Chains A and B, each alone.
Chain A
């Protein structure tokens, strides 16, 4: 039985939304964040992102495939999970899940297809037997790789990015809305919630891609593009600043207004969430990466490549922790305070082995990488050497393979 300080409504002592509901926004955050990176290249002409454009699209796709799993694992009746899709009650924000998820999945699958279409056809042509049949099926019956056709592909990718970006934002903003729209819970109920979720999604997505990019480049013995790393670090820094500003604004506003809610949220933050909020989310997860990325951004030209890579990797690792802590503090923190506004329950500790436990959470985090690996086997993420490096903007492609570091 959890310990209660003060008075909690007797039904308020249970944490119904468990670690799985922490994992859900964490994973969809990667989905949205990765898509933002791919859109920065395809849509906003940030050529520095060209080396990670395909990787981020693939990552968004792989995390998306896993995104629904934590929800499914959490339901009291998983066998009825499909009801949300087939008989949604549209007054519920949660009913939007089916539409947003399926729509975004469709967009991402289409975009993947258009980006890899040329290679799918070439592989089909080169292969024999089953492999040929598989890729021929993936090609969906069109084998046109003429320059005109590829040009249409590029335009399609751009259009899909333009649709996909708001869809990804909606998918993740909706997760924030789920919490932000609960007027019963003072720790959740704020219109800032979807925005905070979105910005922290960008943080987690870029941080994750920095890590995956550097690791895969090392494994593949490819040169890590200094331009790409410093551009990602810059954007990461930007989104970190916005995220933390909003996160703090929400709290400062409550404190400044000295609202009724503050009298329960203040002890929540300083006692129950002292470690996960103050230490992890704010100091280790925000302040330190802020300083590291400040160095990378402001002193970029003086940094040795290795220093830059190390600093961004460290900052990214810490930011993955920051975003996880933020999800934890929102989801779990909101359930530690009773709606009596008079009581806090003791910390929630998930078990290692249970349906909604730590081991399952780890599997959920690793699974997208396994899928990403399979994805890479089937549709190589690194563009084959000499293949057209699609430059959707008509600008000169970034200097490939040349490290500008002194």
Chain B
């Protein structure tokens, strides 16, 4: 939980609510890690924190950092996302991939998106390295999904988050096809395109995305590129980060540390 307070302090909230909020978050995160179940509480927590604050989307530009060296494949993030966002079964706003690699062969899997962790696996070859890679929407600057939406239901907010207006989406699925990362799906419940929102309902209230909140190893970090001293900004600015499928020039805003060339 140490990463939480120093990660990215909420941009605006007054001293009093901020105090209350941090302790509540602390409490919730611990409770969640222990129980692994009651994630729905997070939504409630977010709602209370919002009271009386006005969010200025010009004042932020969000970015996401994934330090794959730290991921232990526990799947808390996937469970938290499901609970927080009501993601339908069999569909994923975030997931975790497992890579088992030798110089001769490789194996990748993501059983149920990594939601239930990763059972031990026997491969036909002797892996010489293995690691986990959390995936989610890259919230690309030059995103093909927004480009191809025929009705403008997909859009990029000023603070750098790619969202879908569920009331405008006609459910044509073009954005699903256009996303190179497999981040979108047509929900069988709403029949519209859905995707990771970086928990926009939370980040606009000074909270972190649910997946970042529950990550026990600080693999997932969330930050504001408009804050000079933001740890995520510093890591991206000074570290050797990569983005996925950089050749497509979609300019992802989710950055990776310690990634292998096998990862797409």
Task: Give per-residue flags for B126-142: 1 if the beta carbon is below 8 A from chain A beta carbons, else 0.
Answer: 00000000010000000
Within 8 A of B (CB), among A76-130: 76-77, 80-81, 83-84, 87-89, 91-95, 97
Residues of B close to A8: CB separation below 8 A: 182
B171 part of interface (Cβ distance < 8 Å): yes
- Say how far A303's CB is from chain B's closest CB, in angstroms: 46
Residues of B close to A6: CB separation below 8 A: 108
A182 part of interface (Cβ distance < 8 Å): yes
In contact, A76 and B92 (Cβ under 8 angstroms): no
State the main secondary structure of chain B at its contact with A: loop
In contact, A92 and B148 (Cβ under 8 angstroms): yes
Tell me which of B149, B150, B182 contacts A9 (CB under 8 A). B182
Chain B residues within 8 Å of chain A by Cβ, number: 43
- Say how far A19's CB is from chain B's closest CB, in angstroms: 14
Tell me which of A84, A181, A185, A340 contacts B151 (CB under 8 A). A84
Within 8 A of A (CB), among B143-191: 144, 146-152, 168-174, 176-186, 190-191
B91 part of interface (Cβ distance < 8 Å): yes
In contact, A182 and B150 (Cβ under 8 angstroms): no
Interface size classification for chain A: 35 or more
In contact, A80 and B151 (Cβ under 8 angstroms): yes
A222 part of interface (Cβ distance < 8 Å): no
Tell me which of A89, A97, A181, A184 contacts B179 (CB under 8 A). A184
Alpha-carbon gap, A93 to B151, bound state (A): 11
In contact, B150 and A92 (Cβ under 8 angstroms): yes
B109 part of interface (Cβ distance < 8 Å): yes
In contact, A89 and B170 (Cβ under 8 angstroms): no
Which A-B residue pairs are the 4 nearest by beta carbons?
A: A76-B171, A9-B182, A76-B191, A184-B180
Q: A91-B146, A178-B174, A335-B177 are in contact. List 14 more A-B contacts (CB 8 A).
A: A7-B107, A10-B92, A11-B176, A76-B192, A80-B169, A81-B170, A84-B151, A92-B150, A92-B174, A94-B150, A94-B172, A334-B177, A339-B180, A341-B264
In the assembled complex, 15 residue pairs joining A and B whose CB atoms fall closer than 8 Å, in A order, are A74-B172, A74-B173, A76-B191, A80-B169, A83-B150, A84-B172, A87-B152, A88-B150, A89-B150, A89-B151, A92-B150, A178-B174, A182-B177, A184-B144, A341-B264
A-side interface residues toward B, CB under 8 Å?
Answer: 1, 6-12, 14, 16-17, 71, 74-77, 80-81, 83-84, 87-89, 91-95, 97, 178, 181-185, 188, 334-335, 338-342
